[in-house]
């Protein structure tokens, strides 16, 4: 077991946190069992300027309030009425920025696919009950130090499925994943 990440990790600039999350270990306690996986793919959302962010133009809704919490809180929501999406708030309270966890490399206790945001939430049994959960204090989910990832191992590319935000925002390279990792949801 690695050392649990503290608040100071999550309150850094979003793109820095995004790259540094790669290689860290997501731990979930489910029915007294430890489920864990190495984070291998993420996307950054930097609202209110980011048209792909749920907090674009500073918009606050019941759905996105967790994005405005201090870094290290969970922002989880449902898409297409069936897939949960796990995000971590970053930076300071009141600044709506977050990171979507897109894929994990199973490390222990996980028997289902984790190569996509909906799949990893299903494999870890994550749902709305995690909304606003504090990763720095929770007894059921947290992030631990993992192996340090070299910059040369990080692929930087555009985010997935955000064409609605327009060509500029859809092409910004705020998606990061580990090179040659077979658990990444989508290459390139």
* pLDDT tens-digit readout, 43-54: 999 989 999 999
* pLDDT tens-digit readout, 75-125: 999 998 899 999 999 999 999 999 999 999 999 999 999 999 999 999 999
Average of per-residue pLDDT across 140-152: 96
Average of per-residue pLDDT across 32-36: 97
Give CA–CA dist 152/96, Å, rounded.
Answer: 29
Q: Is the dihedral of CA 108, 177, 10, 61 positive or negative?
A: negative
Is pLDDT above 90 for 173?
A: yes
Model confidence at 187, in pLDDT bands (50, 70, 90)? confident
Residue-range domains of the chain with CATH:
7-178 (3.10.300.10)
3-state SS record for 159-173: CCCCHHHCHHHHHCC
* pLDDT score of 176: 98
CB 30 within 8 A of CB 125: yes
Strands 175-178 vs 97-108: parallel, antiparallel or unpaired:
unpaired
The span from the first CA to the last CA of the chain, in angstroms, equals: 32
* pLDDT score of 174: 98
* pLDDT score of 80: 87
Model confidence at 2, in pLDDT bands (50, 70, 90)? confident
User: What proportion of the chain, given as a percentage, has pLDDT over 90?
Assistant: 93
Is pLDDT above 90 for 7?
A: yes
Model confidence at 186, in pLDDT bands (50, 70, 90)? confident
* pLDDT score of 81: 86
């Amino acid at each position: 077991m690695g050392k649990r990440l503290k608040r100071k990790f999550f309150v850094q600039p979003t793109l820095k946190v995004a790259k540094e999350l790669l290689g860290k270990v997501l731990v979930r306690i489910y029915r007294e069992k430890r489920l864990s996986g190495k984070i291998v793919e993420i996307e950054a959302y930097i609202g209110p300027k980011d048209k792909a962010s749920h907090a674009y133009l500073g918009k606050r809704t019941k759905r996105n309030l967790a994005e405005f919490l201090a870094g290290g809180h969970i922002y989880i929501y449902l898409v297409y009425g069936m897939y949960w999406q796990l995000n971590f708030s970053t930076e300071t309270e009141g600044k709506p920025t977050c990171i979507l966890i897109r894929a994990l490399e199973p490390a222990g206790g996980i028997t289902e696919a984790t190569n996509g945001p909906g799949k990893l939430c299903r494999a870890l049994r994550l749902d709305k009950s995690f909304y606003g959960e504090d990763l720095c204090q929770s007894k059921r989910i947290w992030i631990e130090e993992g192996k340090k990832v070299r910059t040369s191992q990080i692929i930087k590319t555009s985010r997935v499925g955000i064409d609605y935000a327009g060509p500029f925002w859809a092409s910004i390279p705020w998606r990061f994943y580990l090179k040659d990792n077979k658990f990444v949801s989508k290459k390139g």
